[in-house]
Amino acid sequence: MSKLDEALAELKYDERGLIPAIVVDTESKQVLMMAWMNAEALKMTLQTGRTHFWSRSRQKFWMKGESSGHVQEVRGVYLDCDADTLLIEVVQHGAACHEGYRSCFFRRLGEDGTWETVAEKVFDPEDVYGRGGEGHTPPKR
Amino acid sequence: MSKLDEALAELKYDERGLIPAIVVDTESKQVLMMAWMNAEALKMTLQTGRTHFWSRSRQKFWMKGESSGHVQEVRGVYLDCDADTLLIEVVQHGAACHEGYRSCFFRRLGEDGTWETVAEKVFDPEDVYGRGGEGHTPPKR
- From the list A34, A97, A108, the residue facing B22 with the nearest CB is A34
Please name the residue of chain B whose CA is at the shortest distance from the CA of residue A16.
Answer: B15
pLDDT at B45: 98
Amino acid of residue B138: P
Each residue of A91-113: pLDDT tens digit?
999 999 999 999 999 999 999 99
Q: Does the pLDDT of residue A4 top 80, yes or no?
A: yes
The β-bridge partners of B81 are none
Residues of A near B (CB-CB distance < 8 A)?
2-4, 6-7, 10, 20, 22, 24, 28-31, 33-34, 46, 76-82, 84-85, 87, 97-99, 101, 104-109, 112-115, 118, 140-141
**Contact state of B7 with A98 under an 8 Å Cβ cutoff:** no
Which tens digit of pLDDT belongs to each residue from A59-85? 999 999 999 999 999 999 999 999 999
Nearest-Cα residue of chain A relative to residue B34:
A85
**What pTM, to 2 d.p., does this model score?**
0.92
Whole-angstrom Cα Rg for chain B:
16
Contact list, B98 vs chain A (CB under 8 Å): 81
Please tell me which residue of chain B has the smallest CA distance to A89. Answer: B108
Strand order in the sheet with B31-37: A115-117, A107-109, B72-79, B86-92, B19-25, B31-37
What is the complex's ipTM, to 2 decimals? 0.92
Return the DSSP state at B43.
H
